[in-house]
């Protein structure tokens, strides 16, 4: 029987509403969840990392979690790891784990959109499906995957795009890697262009700014004057900014602030053929880095990891090549 370690971090999958509580909070322990899970299929052991809503977690916590997962996977008797996590920042933790973990064993992250005391609690079904994927040899070498509402998603691609639905996660532009259909795990495709960075520390001072029509530069100026190490700009379309942003981005680069352009569209890569001011050609000329298909929040995680690891500009550029 495959041996799977379930590392719990909190989130709605662990929440219940108590008689004296104002609302549901993370309260369930591994043993509580184990008691509810159907038996058989895998030999499970639970370890608690934290019991927090994911809005309370940071990328530094996610890097600590990555070390904890790596230590579990090094044990020869362990066949895979499942992580339970709040959905709000699950995509960031999943991507950080995917970037920093080097393993061919399955690593699966899951959560729930309904509390354990609600009708329609989806935590057990998601956890059982996650354990099934982690126990499946064909899920090896996929990198970190999300299992949610019977779908399997690549960590670099999945985003929480619905605030309420139990089908909260989507991989826009690419679709899921596969599905869990009853007892069967069906992998339809491999993730493309996965990247790994051996990371010992993160650069925490990295801001994300989303462009809006007519956006002025106050937030950008504030970040620069605060001395951030890196900035991710969620630009328009395939990578375009208003003309009045260019001198400030140029100043950021002169100050040796790393600037990464992502798209605010949610899917698709960067690049265009426009010749007007502020389009992709201008950004390329300035020498910014491009996040390609990564969402803004994931590009921020990557820049934190890359800045914490790179020994110079060339290495930093290579991470975004």
Q: Which residues bind ligand ASP (CB under 6 A)?
A: 11-12, 53-55, 86-88, 111, 113
- Output the CA angle 107-266-115, nearest 5 degrees: 55
Task: Considering the candidates 8, 9, 12, 309, report the single residue annotated as catalytic.
Answer: 12
Under 8 Å between Cβ of 206 and 303: yes
Q: Which long-range contacts (CB under 8 A, 24 or more apart) does 312-316 make?
A: 316/258, 316/289
Considering the complex, state which of residue 80 and residue 111 has its C-beta at the smaller distance from ligand ASP: 111
Residue 94 beta carbon to ligand ASP: minimum distance, rounded to whole angstroms: 13
Residue 54 beta carbon to ligand ASP: minimum distance, rounded to whole angstroms: 4
Neighbours of 122 (CB within 10 A): 22
Residue 85 beta carbon to ligand ASP: minimum distance, rounded to whole angstroms: 7
Q: How many Cα atoms within 13 Å fall on the side-chain side of residue 172? A: 15
Task: Name 206's bridge partners.
Answer: 230
User: Is 309 in the active site?
Assistant: no
Considering the complex, state which of residue 7 and residue 185 has its C-beta at the smaller distance from ligand ASP: 7
Considering the complex, state which of residue 111 and residue 176 has its C-beta at the smaller distance from ligand ASP: 111
Considering the complex, state which of residue 9 and residue 263 has its C-beta at the smaller distance from ligand ASP: 9
Considering the complex, state which of residue 148 and residue 236 has its C-beta at the smaller distance from ligand ASP: 148
Under 8 Å between Cβ of 105 and 79: yes
Considering the complex, state which of residue 135 and residue 170 has its C-beta at the smaller distance from ligand ASP: 170
Under 8 Å between Cβ of 156 and 129: no
Under 8 Å between Cβ of 195 and 138: no
Radius of gyration of the chain (CA): 20
Residue 56 beta carbon to ligand ASP: minimum distance, rounded to whole angstroms: 8
Residue 38 beta carbon to ligand ASP: minimum distance, rounded to whole angstroms: 22
Under 8 Å between Cβ of 209 and 237: no
**Which tokens in the block code for residue 182?**
């009853």
C-alpha separations of 64 from 295, 316, 317 in Å: 23, 22, 26
Q: How many Cα atoms within 13 Å fall on the side-chain side of residue 263? A: 18
Reduced to 3 states, what is the DSSP secondary structure of residue 249? Answer: helix
- Residue whose C-alpha is closest to residue 266's, from 141, 156, 152, 173: 173
Q: Which residue is nearest to ligand ASP (CB)?
A: 86
Q: Is the dihedral of CA 136, 138, 144, 150 positive or negative?
A: negative
Active site residues: 12
């Amino acid at each position: 029987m495959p041996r799977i370690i379930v590392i719990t971090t909190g989130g709605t999958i662990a929440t219940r509403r108590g008689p004296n509580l104002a609302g549901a909070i993370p309260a369930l322990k591994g043993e509580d969840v184990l008691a509810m899970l159907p038996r058989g299929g895998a030999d499970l052991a639970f370890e608690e990392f934290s019991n927090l809503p994911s809005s309370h977690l940071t990328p530094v916590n996610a890097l600590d979690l990555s070390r904890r997962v790596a230590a579990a996977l090094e044990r020869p008797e362990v066949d895979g790891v499942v992580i339970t996590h709040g959905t709000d920042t699950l995509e960031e933790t999943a991507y950080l784990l995917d970037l920093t973990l080097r393993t061919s064993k399955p690593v699966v992250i899951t959560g729930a959109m309904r509390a354990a005391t609600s009708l329609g609690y989806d935590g057990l079904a998601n956890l059982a499906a996650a354990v099934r994927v982690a126990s499946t040899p064909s899920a090896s070498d996929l990198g970190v995957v999300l299992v949610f509402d019977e779908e399997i998603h690549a960590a670099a691609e999945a985003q929480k795009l619905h605030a309420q639905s139990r089908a909260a996660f989507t991989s826009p532009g690419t679709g899921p890697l596969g599905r869990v259909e009853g007892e069967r795990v069906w992998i339809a495709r491999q993730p493309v262009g996965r990247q790994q960075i051996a990371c010992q520390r993160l650069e925490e001072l990295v801001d994300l700014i989303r462009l809006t029509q007519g956006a002025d530069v106050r937030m950008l100026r504030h970040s620069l004057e605060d001395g951030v190490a890196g900035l991710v700009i969620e630009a328009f379309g395939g990578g375009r900014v208003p003309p009045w942003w260019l001198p400030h981005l140029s100043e950021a680069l002169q100050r040796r602030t790393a600037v990464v352009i992502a798209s605010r569209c949610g899917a698709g890569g960067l690049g265009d053929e426009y010749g007007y001011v502020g389009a992709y050609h201008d950004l390329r000329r300035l020498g910014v880095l491009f996040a390609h298909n990564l969402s803004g929040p994931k590009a921020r995680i990557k820049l934190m990891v890359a800045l914490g690891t790179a020994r110079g500009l060339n290495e930093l550029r290579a991470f975004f090549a």
